[in-house]
Amino acid sequence: MYRETRIPRLRASLWISVPDKAHSLAEATDPVCRNPAFGSDAAPAPAPSLIAPDGCMDLIVIDSQILIAGADSTARMFHGSAAPTVGLRFDSGVLPQLLTTSAGELADRVTPLDAVIGGRHARGGGVGEGGGASVTGAARVLLDTAGGLMDRALLDPRPMSLARALDVRSSSPAQTVTEAAAEFAYSPRQLRRLSAEWFGYGPKHLAKILRWQAARDLIESGRSRTAAAAEVGYADAAHLRRDERSLIG
């Protein structure tokens, strides 16, 4: 089971992934149902799952650490655990600003939060302290950590505005990279450099990911692949398939 809750103040969504063996989210949030991040005797991890790129970055609790999951340029295999996992998925362009670190330095990798910001995130108990043994405790630690980072940040709205402009789900029709560069008064070269800092890759690749995500959302809602492809601006279903293969294999 998967549950996601929007946290507007953090410009993020808190997600909890509960393995099939847990009967309910209530069971998962009980301190007895512990995440291996908190030292439980968990069952062997399930088979790895394929995580598709989405243009976002996450903070995740794994193995007693808060980890930064950088933006993925292509799909990657996630070796999850047999116990619930908790994370915060930030809107495109937000987390690099909270970390004061280029997204390009974190792309396609998982990095301990402490390795990037040291003790700057401390605002309460760490993972495994102060009630952090349950999934509920892990969520609290993540929210406190992100809240502390947000309190010290002055967000530049340009990354979020650019991501919205390139996303057909937010701007219909989505702008082309050339149109976006003109609207933001950047040269194509400037936009590529800034996009790498904000998102971890160039604007064309971000637009490609966002359009494929929009098509996937439509297909999952019941649209045919042909209809979904047309609605989000692909030339045809074959064009959608080519992008899909290049992103997720």
pLDDT (tens digit, 9 = 90+) per residue, 212-242?
999 999 999 999 999 999 999 999 999 999 9
Same domain assignment for residues 111 and 169: no
The pLDDT of residue 194 is: 97
d(CA 172, CA 164) in angstroms, rounded, equals: 10
Share of the chain above pLDDT 70, in %: 82
Domain count across the chain: 2
Element (H, E) at 226: helix 225-231
Domain identity same for 165 and 46: no
Boundary-marking domain end, from 107, 125, 151 = 151
Nearest alpha-carbon partner for 248 in 49, 75, 54: 75
What integer is the mean pLDDT of 140-151? 96
Q: Tokens 């993540």 map to which residue? A: 142
Same domain for 165 and 99?
Answer: no
Judge if 29 and 69 occupy the same domain.
yes
Say yes or no: 66 and 147 in one domain: yes
Same domain, 132 and 175: no
User: Average pLDDT, stretch 151-172?
Assistant: 94
Structure tokens given for 181: 């560069």
Quote the domain boundaries for residue 24. Answer: 2-151
| pTM of the entire predicted model | 0.85
Question: Residue 64 has what pLDDT?
Answer: 73
162 and 147 within one domain: no
Max avg pLDDT among 16-30, 115-129, 186-200: 186-200
User: Is the domain of 61 the same as that of 124?
Assistant: yes
More confident residue, 121 or 149: 149
CB under 8 A, 24+ apart: contacts of 70-73: 70/103, 70/106, 70/107, 70/108, 70/109, 70/110, 70/111, 70/200, 71/103, 71/106, 71/107, 71/108, 71/199, 71/200, 71/201, 72/107, 72/108, 73/107, 73/108, 73/200, 73/201, 73/205
Q: Do residue 115 and residue 188 come from a single domain?
A: no
pLDDT at 18 > cutoff 60: yes
Q: What is the CATH number of the domain that holds 224?
A: 1.10.10.60
Say whether both 77 and 98 belong to one domain.
yes
Same domain, 164 and 50: no
Residue 40 has pLDDT above 50, yes or no: no
pLDDT class of 120 with cuts at 50, 70, 90: low
Average pLDDT value over all residues in the chain: 86
Q: Compute the half-sphere exposure of residue 193: CA atoms within 13 Å on the CB side of its CA.
A: 5
